[in-house]
Structure 1
């Protein structure tokens, strides 16, 4: 049990202390801004999709409620 916990602990904490070379390379070459821009565009699209789905759901619920009355 103790051995298992030490393996889990090392698996969690060692990568946190390790340096991420890919991110360092992107940062040094200025490509990190491209990556961040793509991530922001994807998140904006995701939130836009959620907003549109919410509006459609509200409209359908309203139509259903009006039809029942």
Structure 2
């Protein structure tokens, strides 16, 4: 199991290092055309949606835990 985790960590670190070598690309294109704000807005909406989902799930689990204790 430890060897598998080590192998995955090595592979993921290699991918991260490879991704950082990219030159100027989509970010400059999106910034120059003003579409970067659309991308940022969509990312924020996704994160807010995930946060709301997790908070609602936590709230439901608390209700279930209280019900099971009684």
Q: 2:67 aligns with which of 55, 63, 66?
A: 63
What per-residue deviation string (whole Å, max 9, x for no partner) do you get for residues 16-69 of structure 1?
A: 344231110000000000000000000000000000000000000001111xxx
**CA-atom RMSD, angstroms?**
2.0
Q: 2:17 aligns with which of 12, 22, 27?
A: 12
State how 1:20-59 maps to structure 2 within 5 Å. Answer: 20-59=24-63
- Give the structure-1-normalised TM-score: 0.71
Which of these two proteins has the greater Rg computed from alpha carbons? 1
Structure showing the higher helix proportion among its residues: 1
**Contiguous gaps of at least 5 residues in structure 2:** 1-13
**Contiguous gaps of at least 5 residues in structure 1:** 1-8
Spell out structure 1 runs of 4+ moving beyond 3 A.
none
Aligned length: 56
